Structure 1
Amino acid sequence: MGPVNWLAVFLAAALAVVLGIVWNGPPFQDGRSLSPGKSTRASNYGLVCFVFLISSVMLGHSFARIGAETLAVKPWLYFMQTGGVAIAFVLPAIWLTHVRYRAEPIRRVMDCLFWLVAYLAMGAVFWLLG
């Protein structure tokens, strides 16, 4: 196992948070936001940062287990790993949660699409800094 690229871990998590702010900001504003109230603004951002940091640490560990030599020869593994985790685990959880709470289909699609884009963006950070 190679060393975890901690710079990539933190930058990937930061990029995912920034994407979340942009995704839920003015271009896609539909009355929801990353932090709905002023009193919980800091705690919501903190929770979002924590979730993406945990995800990024897990991905960084995965890439360290694969090894720099393998990743240098097969760079598509960055996107297969991140996209695979998103498609196999994150998107079904988001989709089922939205179904349970009877969210409209477009919100389901937009939220699932965000998580896929966020995970692929994290993969791009690991690839660029690999």
Structure 2
Amino acid sequence: MGPMNWLGVLLAALAAAGVVALFWRGRMPWGAYALALLPALMLGHALARIGPDKLAMKPQLYFMQSGGLALAFVLPAVWMLGLKSGAARAEMVRDSAAFLLAYLAMGLVFFALG
């Protein structure tokens, strides 16, 4: 296991909250940043477990890990909650896009910091 990139965790959470704020018309409550810290920490841990050598050989793993978390866990939760609450389909699609892009932005931050 490689070292945890703590700066990456903080910046990835900020990037994710910023992307979501764009979809929420510019509002970025600090609560959204605080909530983004947990998945950023999880992604940072997963990338540390993969290790810097493998990530250097296969940089696509940054995006496979971050996008995979969104596609496998976050987006189904968005849809389940949306269907339960009777949200409009367009709203669920917009929220899904926001979270997928937010998670990919976290992967991009970790990729950029190497």
Give the CA RMSD over aligned residues.
1.2
Tell me how far apart the structure 2 counterparts of residues 87 and 20 of structure 1 sit (CA, whole Å): 16
Tell me how far apart the structure 2 counterparts of residues 85 and 22 of structure 1 sit (CA, whole Å): 21
* Partner amino acid, structure 2, of 1:91: L
Q: Give the structure with higher Rg (CA).
A: 1
* Partner amino acid, structure 2, of 1:124: L
After superposition, residues 87-106 of structure 1 pair within 5 angstroms as 87-106=71-90
Tell me which residue corresponds to 2:102. 118
User: Percent identity at matched positions?
Assistant: 46
What runs of 5+ residues in structure 2 fail to find an aligned partner? none
Aligned length in residues: 114
Tell me how far apart the structure 1 counterparts of residues 79 and 111 of structure 2 sit (CA, whole Å): 28
Tell me how far apart the structure 2 counterparts of residues 15 and 107 of structure 1 sit (CA, whole Å): 22
Runs of 4+ aligned structure 1 residues displaced above 3 Å come to: none
Give the TM-score, by structure 1 length. 0.84
Tell me how far apart the structure 2 counterparts of residues 86 and 19 of structure 1 sit (CA, whole Å): 14
